Amino acid sequence: MKSSKYTARKPDEQGFIHYPDEEHETWSILYNRQIKILPNRACDEFISGLELLGLSPDTIPQLSEVSEVLEKATGWGVARVPALISFDRFFQLLADKQFPVATFIRARDELDYLEEPDIFHEIFGHCPLLTNPAFASLTQTFGKVGLGASKEERVYLARLYWFTVEFGLLETSRGKRIYGGGILSSYKETLSCLGSKPTHQPFGVNRALRTPYRIDIVQPVYFVINALADLQVLGESDLLSLVREAMKQPMYDPLFPQPDSSSL
């Protein structure tokens, strides 16, 4: 596991995490610019979850406050973790209905992109939809399945996670909407994903499992589900069998230039 330049902040004896004013200001910048562009882009379920969480635009939330809301809604919570954790730890937390949150926030020179997820990405991007039973159910399934998967199978599971939990789109009567946390916590991605430049494909498990992606660019392709209930159906399927079937087939050609080195 590679190292991170960030260090997660630890709580005091009362469980309270003290962030310096500059980091609260960074949260405020990120929060306020996202909240302005979410109308008519984010799905209704995300907006409802955001309202439930009651996040402050001015201060980084305490994890206990977030867990209290999630517990009442879906039985979930959040768990404090270092900047980077192992796949084993990641999958175990999800299986236990604990969403991992690294308690650091990005530096100002990385407002638009950082490689490892920070507290804004995890809390603002993902936690609102963890109040939704279908989304929460699929997220837990990824954890349970990942624990029993081989290293090679986990690569495919990560790809499916990427195209759903992180970068998924939803078809609605008012047009496409965003539910993926990787989009909803990214200013550039939120503005670009619903435009005419990227490719929008109806969600198919096999195709998503075999579609390459890059973590360091605005995505060139998104998969669109018809309803969040589709995520629960996906979570109730035999994901490992679907992964193993996909592993027997060739990958689709990437829709981006191949970098010298990246995680695909």
What does the domain layout of the chain look like in residue ranges? Answer: 21-247
Q: Which amino acid is at 107?
A: A
pLDDT level of residue 2 (50, 70, 90 thresholds)? low
126: pLDDT strictly greater than 60: yes
- Tens digits of residue pLDDT in 22-48: 999 999 999 999 999 999 999 999 999
263: pLDDT strictly greater than 80: no
CA 27 to the chain's CA centroid? 17
CA 91 to the chain's CA centroid? 14
Phi, psi of 250 (to 5 degrees): -70, 155
So what's the architecture of 21-247 in CATH? Orthogonal Bundle (1.10)
- Tens digits of residue pLDDT in 58-113: 999 999 999 999 999 999 999 999 888 999 999 999 999 999 999 999 999 999 98
Question: Residue 112 — left, alpha, or beta (φ > 0 → left; ψ -120 to 50 → alpha)?
Answer: alpha
- The two tokens of residue 8 are 């997660």
- Tens digits of residue pLDDT in 246-258: 999 999 999 887 6
At residue 264, the pLDDT reads: 41
At residue 152, the pLDDT reads: 97
**pTM value?**
0.94
CA 9 to the chain's CA centroid? 21
pLDDT level of residue 228 (50, 70, 90 thresholds)? very high
- Helix or strand run (H / E) with residue 200: strand 199-202
pLDDT level of residue 262 (50, 70, 90 thresholds)? very low
CA 82 to the chain's CA centroid? 17
At residue 115, the pLDDT reads: 84
pLDDT level of residue 186 (50, 70, 90 thresholds)? very high
At residue 5, the pLDDT reads: 86
CA 162, CA 134: separation in Å to the nearest integer?
17
Q: Which residues of 81-97 are buried (b: 16+ CB within 10 A; e: fewer)?
A: bbbbbebeebbbbbbeb
User: Is 90 in contact with 142 (CB distance < 8 Å)?
Assistant: no
CA 165, CA 117: separation in Å to the nearest integer?
14
4: pLDDT strictly greater than 90: no
